[in-house]
Amino acid sequence: MTGIVSRLILAVVTIASVPAIWMLLLFLQWETRWTRDQDLAIALANLVTALLLIGAWVLIWRREIRWSPRRSALTIVATVGSLMLAGGFGFWIGEATRESEAGHIFGGIVWALLWLAATAVIWRETASERIERMQRLGVHGVTCPTCGYNLTGMKEARCPECGATFTLEQLFASVAESSV
């Protein structure tokens, strides 16, 4: 099993265990009878589950993420934004149904979905990061078969350095040859 397959399985298990953890936290609070306030108990279960989810998610994916300043800032914005959106939605549900517990529950679910989706988009490797990573691995992409100029990022099969033009299969063949 490769590392990425292992991480994907761990991610699925993490998401699947969220409802169980949340219910366990509620159950523990009923059993210990530390509060009679249902709203408070649900809010606390939401908070602890959310922190556990964030912790597990970062732990699983930390080696796949490159923390550029832009990516870190976007992650903070997504975290705050998803909280505000889900909070607003939960409040609206609570008002509409006159059940603040329902608001907490649906708000929590919406937050988790928004945050997970946002991290999947924000943490994804950009094209330039991928090229950099390939270069670190010693894969130098496409170079001009005639003069050796680096054609990485070019949108046409024409070398800007020596002017030679190639068909795509000629370029592909030269890459295959140079990597042997």
Nearer to Zn ion, 17 or 146 (CB): 146
Kindly state the smallest distance separating residue 170's Cβ from Zn ion, in Å. Answer: 12
Distance separating alpha carbons of residues 23 and 170, to the nearest angstrom? 60
Kindly state the smallest distance separating residue 163's Cβ from Zn ion, in Å. Answer: 7
Paired with 143 in beta bridges are 150
Distance separating alpha carbons of residues 164 and 146, to the nearest angstrom? 7
Give SS3 for 155: coil
Cβ 108 vs Cβ 49: under 8 Å: yes
Distance separating alpha carbons of residues 170 and 137, to the nearest angstrom? 24
Nearer to Zn ion, 37 or 161 (CB): 161
Nearer to Zn ion, 72 or 165 (CB): 165
Kindly state the smallest distance separating residue 152's Cβ from Zn ion, in Å. Answer: 13
Kindly state the smallest distance separating residue 180's Cβ from Zn ion, in Å. Answer: 21
Kindly state the smallest distance separating residue 149's Cβ from Zn ion, in Å. Answer: 4
**Distance set, CA 170 to CA 134, 150, 164 (Å):** 21, 15, 12
Nearer to Zn ion, 31 or 177 (CB): 177
Distance separating alpha carbons of residues 140 and 178, to the nearest angstrom? 10
Binding site for Zn ion (CB under 5 A): 144, 146-147, 149, 159, 161-162
Nearer to Zn ion, 19 or 163 (CB): 163
